Chains A and B, each alone.
Chain A
Amino acid sequence: MADTPQLVTITVDGKQIKAPAGTLLIDACKNAGIEIPSFCYYPGLSLQAACRMCVVRIEKMPKLQTACTVPITEGMVVTNDSDEVRQARKATVQILLGNHPLDCPVCDAGGECELQDMTFTYGAAESQYMETKQHKDEQQWSPVVYFDRPRCILCYRCVRVCGEVMDVWALGIQNRGVSSVIAPNKGDHLECEECGACIDICPVGALTSGTYRYKTRPWEMNHTATVCTHCGDGCKTTLGVRRSDTGTEIVRGDNRDKSGINGDFLCIKGRYAFDFQQHPDRLKMPLVRKNGKLAYATWDEAFDLIGRRFKEVRDSQGGAAIGVIGSTRTTNEENYLLQKFARKALGTNNIDHHRTADYPAFAAAVAGKPELTASLHHVEKSPAILLLGGDPTEQHPLLAERIRTNIRLHGGKLFIVNDEEIKLRRQSKSYAHIPQGAYAKFFEFLSGTDSAADQLTTAGTKKDQLLAMRELLRKEDDLLIILSADIRGKDIATIVKLGQSHKKVRFMMLGDYANSRGAADMGLYPDLLPGYTPVANAGAFSEYGANLPKSAGLDTAAMVEAGRSGKLGALYIVGANPFARYNVQPGQTAKTFVVVQDMFLTETASMADVVLPSNNAYEKAGSFTNTYGDLQLLKKAADFAGSKSDFELIVRIADRIGFELADLVPFGKGVRADMGQSRGAQSGEADRHEIWLIANKYEPKMSPLDPSAIFDEIQRLVPGYDVSRLNLFSGNSVHSHATGKGTGAQQNPELIWPANDTLFTSGTLGRYSNTLNSVMEKYTGETSEVMAD
């Protein structure tokens, strides 16, 4: 890998270009800015040479050659632009158009269709084919996949992406010649992971999606690249949005520009499960409990009540009588602000969130050694990977795809230790099926205690297999170790220490929701400040002032319990559903003043005294940290009238309890101010609006509702977050480093509840996604019944 590949020089249309020997001609040209058209060629997939669009003339070769299959050699002389080549390509387009229906005016792909573009370029406008076109009606293969056979140009991209990239192999080609047809694996329907990769990779409109088809035209949407709000992988998803009765609705999700951490990969959730955003059950007005019933109220009324009650409880019973539960799907800025608000304004350490992995123990284990933490970018080219527990195919689809791609294209080796069968086994070099939860025992075995192996054997794994695996593992000097949420507490320290016997080793920790890691990093813990800083030893956070409580607060379970017994005067819940999880019944929290911010009337919200309708991640700016520590910027794509971002809600509550906002959000340091009045619909947003502000010589962070103001503070105070802003703001992912001074005081593994989501569930969001529910129905005959998050 390390040796520099030998460069060879070739001539294309009289222009000399250099590229490494063995590069495909089509790639060499592309890198040099020379376009060779193609339909079937797709980087990373096997070569097909089916479409004949990329033909070029190469000197000393008898016929036109396909540039997608010819590796370049020294002195090759290529003609890409000549009458002969142009004519050949035109003829190809004409043949493709022979059976193509030309229903472009109603086709989903119209306007962004590769066949349209090629026809435009090569001018095959005249239809010489006089026979009747072969026609077949469109078919629905699954809730998300539709197939319009006549539009298909048989490039095989869908077949290859489904098999090679996704390892699903649900699509095939049947018959031959002109009657060839793409076929699904179950005769008339698909049984697959419903990822939609086949749809996005289709160069024409043959495969279309149930969520988008016949809804709009590509040019009628605006596109915003943001981060998916479902699992902890942090895929970039580009949302196509358009105006709707309720603001701005999302009509499409894709990642065709391959700009993110995920290349062009997305699972069903990133591509199609954005429909909760327009769910009819979304809250559009604040609700206040009056005479025992939740009733609509004005924002003013709601904020006044919250401000008054929070202040009363704090001033009469002290901060310890207030509890705060944060979210795993709010931004870093919101999480940071929430804990700062709790600690500084309410004076309580009673703050927690739904924990899905033991990040504090992980941060402590890798403290001071940032080189031990792996970004998702490391997965694709790691020579060896050890996966301990978990089922990435279901819970971390992007990670699973990166691992498969590594093995397929870069020859990495995958070692799996798991207490159940997982699909990735098909890619593994060595697989150990161990007894339920016996990971600690495995580490003991790994460290050299042979006798431990006796307690690790199962029907599928014998002792000699374990010994062989250990032997192979020991030979690896560059290893990536992936820890599932099953590995907690001191086991994490053990494996991190053990792993360092390899020359080079990196670790990653798997947690579940979109910003679970961010919630942990930002200190939504009763005993940890942001950056896993112990509350007893606040360090840089001493600047919060003397009110910062020094002793650990209550965790979620204790807060819910205190809410039940009435020991808690007030409970403030942001984007979480703990009452469902801890089985709280209506009326049980009557003595506690409960405020909930959510999109929907969840079990928790329905028992609250005040409910504030909030935005989801697709409707706000900020940042997310994926479970691997990769920080990415969220951009506001959609809007939903009647809801506000959690950031704004927290700030407004702080304002109503009479807290000095400048002490909460560091804003207002400029000369000329824009107090939000010019922002209108874009209130609380930094990205697009910032350009306008700068152009008008306004200080961009003059509003207390601006999350980027608090991001300054995060960067300044939170260990591991001093990342490159330039990189982050230009849309890349930047790696943050978890680092802790010691494990949190409350290491209670009982509080870690992995979501156990499948490909088709996603906590509360999943319950309100019609797409996910329809897919669930297809496979199980029932709608999603999942634990609330």
Chain B
Amino acid sequence: MFSEQLSKKFDKMVTNYPTKRSALVPMLLFAQDEVGHLSDEVIANIAKRVELTDLEVRNVISYYSLLHTKPMGKYHVQVCTNISCLLRGGEEVFEHCKQKLGIGHKQTQASGLFSLEEVECLGACSWAPAVQVNYDFHENLTPERMDKVLEQYAKK
């Protein structure tokens, strides 16, 4: 299920806190990064590690918008449309991404390359509008600049 390295990391993580379940959220994030999304198998595996029921793990996942139970694209494009970005054209960037990628909010391209999500504040207001692709930030965007960003990933 997980790489040996991650497995070892998890073994250690559950010992970091007085109760095992405390390690749940970071474990989910690491697992999502490695597997791509939180599949039923991932959930069952992690539930066992932290001694929770699958249901409890699902409860936590459903609370956080950063955690996904369905497969996302190789590159997950997260466009901020909160107030600072909105005032500086975030909505246009988001609309442009929809057009360009041919998908909507929380959707994934059939090829599995890109997925798109409209997100809340990314904490990059000073350089609004901002977009986060996987863990990388792209700032001061316009539709044209956005195209370049997307091209750059498509070429990778």
- Give the interface of A toward B (CB within 8 A): 169-176, 183-185
Contacts and interface: CB of A to CB of B under 8 A. Distances in A.
6 contacts: A169-B53, A170-B55, A171-B55, A176-B62, A183-B55, A185-B54
B126 interface: no
Nearest to B61: A174
B63 A176 contact: yes
Nearest to A175: B62
B55 A185 contact: yes
Nearest to A186: B55
B95 interface: no
Interface in B19-55: 53-55
| Interface SS, A side | strand
B59 interface: yes
Contacts of A176: 62-63
A173 B56 CA distance: 8
B59 A183 contact: yes
B58 interface: yes
A384 B118 CA distance: 56
B53 A173 contact: no
Contacts of B59: 172-174, 183
A169 B56 contact: yes
A174 B53 contact: no
A191 to B, nearest CB: 10
Interface residues of B, number: 8
Contact of A185 (B53, B62, B63): B53
B62 A169 contact: no
A300 B45 CA distance: 70
Given A172-B56, A173-B59, 12 more contacts: A171-B55, A172-B53, A172-B58, A174-B58, A174-B63, A175-B62, A176-B62, A176-B63, A183-B55, A183-B59, A184-B55, A185-B55
A714 B53 CA distance: 51
A171 B53 CA distance: 10
Contacts of A174: 58-59, 62-63
Nearest to A179: B62
A169 B63 contact: no
A654 B30 CA distance: 79
A170 to B, nearest CB: 7
| Most A Cβ at <10 Å: residue of B55, B56, B59 | B55
A172 B55 contact: yes
A240 to B, nearest CB: 32
A185 B56 CA distance: 9
A433 to B, nearest CB: 21
Contacts of B62: 174-176, 183
Contacts of A173: 59
Contacts of B54: 185
B105 to A, nearest CB: 15
Contacts of B63: 174-176
Contacts of B55: 169-172, 183-185
A716 B119 CA distance: 79
A170 B59 CA distance: 12
B44 to A, nearest CB: 12
B21 to A, nearest CB: 13
B95 to A, nearest CB: 25
Closest 6 interchain pairs by CB? A174-B62, A172-B59, A185-B55, A172-B55, A176-B63, A175-B62
Contacts of A170: 55
A169 B57 CA distance: 12
Nearest to A170: B55
| Most B Cβ at <10 Å: residue of A169, A171, A172 | A172
Interface string B128-155: 0000000000000000000000000000
A420 to B, nearest CB: 23
Contacts of A184: 55
Contacts of A172: 53, 55-56, 58-59
Contacts of A185: 53-55
Interface in B51-88: 53-56, 58-59, 62-63
A607 B86 CA distance: 84
B53 A183 contact: no
B99 to A, nearest CB: 28
Contacts of A171: 55
Nearest to B57: A172
A433 B53 CA distance: 25
Nearest to A171: B55
Contacts of B58: 172, 174, 183
A316 B53 CA distance: 69
Contacts of B53: 169, 172, 185
A160 to B, nearest CB: 13
| Most B Cβ at <10 Å: residue of A171, A176, A184 | A176
A173 B53 CA distance: 13
A176 B56 CA distance: 14
A185 B54 CA distance: 8
Interface in B92-142: none
